[in-house]
Chain A
């Protein structure tokens, strides 16, 4: 269908610049990317374009003569390209090249850095609320270690000595696992690290992290995992999104308790993730706002208002969608849908 208000863009050059532009423009609904060209068939932008289902070609003349191209963006860095384009472009198309396209590329880079910064700050702000959970989970094994060690100093029964020494070793492992999980979680997501990720593995990892953020006491857990649910994306970012969703679900059931249900499905070309709680629910008039930045129902200082906004950004970066189904006092379900990545068995990251 023709839509005249869309800007139809052809990108020339699929190196780092082309790829960054592709990612940026792809997020803007009023821009349609008609194709991307590069002489090098292995250029990173071409690979990315295939994932985004943007037409790719190694033939520049073909692309620019495409019907209806309204803007040609040249990020090849090739001075001859500019001359060529002036001579051969369709009369209705504008050209962005040379320093103008470089400026745009720099802005795109800057924007993607800011977006990463925002994700990281919101994640770190969230970790601030883990203090009580971390203290609880570290000080309990430490109490055990201290108590056993005090006893061992006087214990004469060798069987008891052996048993308690083993208990101490277990408690130390348990404590160090907390530090390992948290340092891994707090690190900055590495940029453009799109790999095959096992959704079930990430959900379990997210559950471990979310336990620091909120008390799972009085929460019944139900898990229905479809084996082999795999998606393509940045594993650190996916973990961050899942931690946010699980934490929200548990917070919605705070004080009264309830059931947290996590389900994954693989249906045809799609991987689905459902995270449901039986908590307070979201008022119907608030639902359209929940993915907006700075929307929060939490008390000042308790939430950044960026949690769900970032979840949506992350899910969309992975070519996924997010939907919500909620009823006041009944509960809320978040439904994530991703394109099914290659089936498991190709070195799935967990």
Chain B
């Protein structure tokens, strides 16, 4: 089944996938990056929805981005707007919402829009890594 993995090589090391973390808090980006890098992911950062759209539209990212992890309460283009943009322009890229404010209505609406996971901060590293792995797995299955 190896041919279905998205793994590619960055700087000579095996890469489990490329993840974009969208959060206005540098501390959150830092800690999420640290958590995912340990599991072999390459992590890109964006500080708001606007920057996230810039990142995904630049160069090879539109092809190689495997997962987007997105906060909701952010300046410029907020998380809800960013999610809508990603779903309509990049429906194949799985989205994980990581928010500080659990809101059942919002969670339902995101899941309905096709968001694969809705996680509430603080989330344990293991849970975050398995959510990302699951999202990538689903993406691979969708590709079949």
Q: Which of A143, A150, A167, A215 contacts B121 (CB under 8 A)?
A: A143
Q: Which of B27, B35, B124 contacts A140 (CB under 8 A)?
A: B27
Q: A146-B122, A151-B34, A171-B27 are in contact. Are A135 and B101 (CB under 8 A)?
A: yes
Alpha-carbon separation in the docked complex, A131 to B102 (Å): 10
A139 at the interface (CB under 8 A from B): yes
Q: Which of B76, B100, B124 contacts A139 (CB under 8 A)?
A: B100
Interface string of B91-128 (1 = CB under 8 A from A): 00000000011110000000000000000111111000
A141 at the interface (CB under 8 A from B): yes
Which positions 119-151 of chain A face chain B at CB distance < 8 Å? 131-132, 135-148, 150-151
Taking chain A's interface residues, is the majority helix, strand, or loop, or is none over half, making it mixed?
Answer: helix
Q: Is the CB of A147 within 8 A of B32?
A: yes
Which positions 60-115 of chain B face chain A at CB distance < 8 Å? 73-76, 78, 100-103
B24 at the interface (CB under 8 A from A): yes
Q: A135-B101, A135-B102 are in contact. Are A143 and B28 (CB under 8 A)?
A: yes
A217 at the interface (CB under 8 A from B): yes
Alpha-carbon separation in the docked complex, A145 to B27 (Å): 10
B10 at the interface (CB under 8 A from A): no
Q: Is the CB of B73 within 8 A of A139?
A: no
Of chain A, the residue at the smallest CB distance from B27 is A144
A106 at the interface (CB under 8 A from B): no
For chain A, the bracket of interface size reads: 20 to 34
Of chain A, the residue at the smallest CB distance from B32 is A147
Q: Is the CB of A217 within 8 A of B75?
A: yes
Q: Is the CB of B100 within 8 A of A217?
A: no
Alpha-carbon separation in the docked complex, A103 to B27 (Å): 61
B14 at the interface (CB under 8 A from A): no
Q: Is the CB of B100 within 8 A of A138?
A: yes
Q: Is the CB of A139 within 8 A of B74?
A: no
* Residues of A participating in the B interface, judged by any CB pair closer than 8 Å: 131-132, 135-148, 150-151, 167, 171, 215, 217-218
Given A137-B100, A140-B25, A144-B27: 18 more A-B contacts, CB < 8 Å: A132-B73, A132-B101, A135-B100, A139-B121, A140-B100, A140-B121, A142-B121, A142-B122, A143-B100, A143-B123, A145-B122, A147-B31, A148-B31, A150-B124, A151-B34, A151-B35, A167-B27, A218-B76
